[in-house]
């Protein structure tokens, strides 16, 4: 039985309790949070053995094998390195770090220590994206020619998830001073992973345009300066020669939380759709190509990230998405900022 520490008891902590609670080979035994009393309350509410007011206190106790790092983005590096230094395996929330250099440092530390390291890129849990990748790798689409990917949210025009004008949990996402890297860093990381994982190729060059729209008088609400990007459009070339277009936006009116990926090949095409809960995959192959006829593809259940992490702990073979994969995606995000700033394409080799 693998014993886990949950580091951070904010909004996403409940999802980790649920996800890891479904894996019989592990148990979350303790939690830690820097806000005094918060961990103790969370531990009592969720039946955990211990709650600690600091990571240091949890490490001094030490009766766990691995940690789920659900702290705020800006402290992922320091907390993860502290865990690695004491020999703890780490399952970290995305983004791994706010820049590629930090993400790479974390990756190299985990690999040098021989520790299992994974990042919770949640849309890998979609059975549709897993099946699409298998079909691409089997050559069913032929050579890829064009890839279209989009992550569409609408919480800047809809109150489906709450009111961003009054709720701190949304306002911080609009302010670089509060740690936000905009829609690109928030959900762009997901769609870039989704697109390149599904295509089974890497990005070799890209051009990006990032836009921040006016949302309030003086572009400020209280302490929050609203300067983080709201929409991102990326054009990229993939390692196999395909052209890719990737968009992410919080202004997609009519969409709550939708990801789509269409893979166009010389022999056929696939379309992946998911909202994080329900997934679908359709294909245009064989005789359907001439008539542009699409058919639904039957999907099989897939191992979720939590299960893959526990499998990795049991086998000693690192799981995917790994720290290294997350660092690669962070390199793409850094390149997007560079391209937007300079107005030029960025080569990634």
CATH number of the CATH domain containing 77 = 3.40.50.720
Going by the DSSP 8-state scheme, the letter that residue 120 receives in this structure is -
The model's pLDDT over 220-241, given as tens digits with 9 standing for 90+, comes to: 999 999 999 999 999 999 999 9
% of the chain surpassing 70 pLDDT = 100
Q: Which residues of 179-209 are buried (b: 16+ CB within 10 A; e: fewer)?
A: ebbbbbbbbbbbbbbbbbbbbbbebeebbbe
**Judgement on whether residues 188 and 150 belong to the same structural domain of the protein:** yes
pLDDT of 11 strictly over 90: no
Q: Which two tokens stand for residue 66?
A: 């691995």
Q: Which of 122, 146, 162 is the last residue of a domain?
A: 122
**pLDDT interval class at 135 (50, 70, 90):** very high
Dist. CA 183–CA 99, nearest whole Å: 15
- How many domains is the chain built from? 2
143 lies in which domain range? 126-347
Does pTM surpass 0.85? yes
User: What pLDDT is stored for residue 160 in this prediction?
Assistant: 86
Q: Are strands 243-249 and 2-7 parallel, antiparallel or unpaired?
A: unpaired
Torsion over CA: 132, 134, 140, 144 (sign):
positive
Q: Are strands 2-7 and 66-69 parallel, antiparallel or unpaired?
A: parallel
**pLDDT interval class at 113 (50, 70, 90):** very high
Dist. CA 235–CA 243, nearest whole Å: 7
Angstrom CA distances, 167 to 29, 160, 170, 221, 224, stand at 31, 13, 6, 11, 11
**Judgement on whether residues 45 and 140 belong to the same structural domain of the protein:** no
Dist. CA 342–CA 117, nearest whole Å: 34
Contact status, residue 222 vs residue 243, Cβ threshold 8 Å: no
**Judgement on whether residues 80 and 203 belong to the same structural domain of the protein:** no
CATH of the domain at 300: 3.30.360.10
User: What pLDDT is stored for residue 276 in this prediction?
Assistant: 87
User: What pLDDT is stored for residue 149 in this prediction?
Assistant: 98
**Judgement on whether residues 189 and 292 belong to the same structural domain of the protein:** yes
Q: Which of 101, 122, 143 is the last residue of a domain?
A: 122
């Amino acid at each position: 039985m693998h014993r886990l520490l949950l580091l951070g008891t904010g909004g996403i902590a409940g999802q980790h309790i649920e996800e890891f609670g479904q894996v019989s080979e592990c148990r979350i035994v303790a939690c830690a949070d820097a806000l005094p009393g918060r961990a103790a309350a969370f531990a009592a509410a969720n039946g955990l053995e211990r709650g600690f007011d600091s990571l240091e206190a949890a490490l001094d106790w030490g009766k766990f094998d691995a940690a789920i790092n659900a702290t705020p983005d800006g402290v992922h590096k320091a907390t993860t390195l502290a865990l690695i230094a004491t020999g703890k395996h780490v399952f970290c929330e995305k983004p791994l770090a706010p820049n590629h250099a930090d993400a790479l440092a974390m990756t190299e530390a985990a690999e040098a220590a021989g520790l299992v390291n994974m990042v919770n890129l949640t849309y890998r849990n979609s059975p549709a994206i897993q099946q699409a990748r298998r079909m691409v790798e089997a050559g069913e689409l032929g050579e890829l020619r064009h890839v279209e990917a989009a992550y569409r949210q609408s919480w800047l025009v809809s109150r489906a998830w709450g009111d961003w004008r009054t709720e701190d949990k949304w306002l911080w996402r609009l302010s670089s001073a509060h740690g936000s890297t905009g829609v690109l860093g928030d959900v762009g990381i997901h769609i870039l992973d989704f697109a390149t994982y599904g295509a089974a190729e890497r990005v070799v060059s890209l051009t990006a345009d990032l836009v921040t729209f006016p949302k309030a008088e003086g572009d400020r609400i209280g302490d929050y300066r609203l300067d983080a990007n709201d929409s991102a459009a990326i054009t990229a070339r993939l390692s196999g020669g395909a052209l890719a277009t990737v968009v992410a936006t919080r202004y997609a009116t009519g969409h709550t939380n939708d990801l789509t990926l269409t893979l166009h090949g010389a022999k056929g095409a696939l379309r992946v759709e998911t909202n994080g809960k329900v997934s679908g995959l359709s294909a245009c192959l064989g005789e359907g190509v001439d008539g542009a006829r699409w058919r639904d593809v039957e999907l099989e259940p897939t191992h979720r990230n939590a299960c893959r992490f526990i499998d990795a702990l049991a086998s000693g073979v690192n799981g995917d998405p790994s720290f290294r994969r997350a660092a690669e995606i962070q390199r793409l995000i850094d390149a997007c900022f560079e391209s937007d700033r300079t107005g030029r394409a960025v080569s990634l080799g």
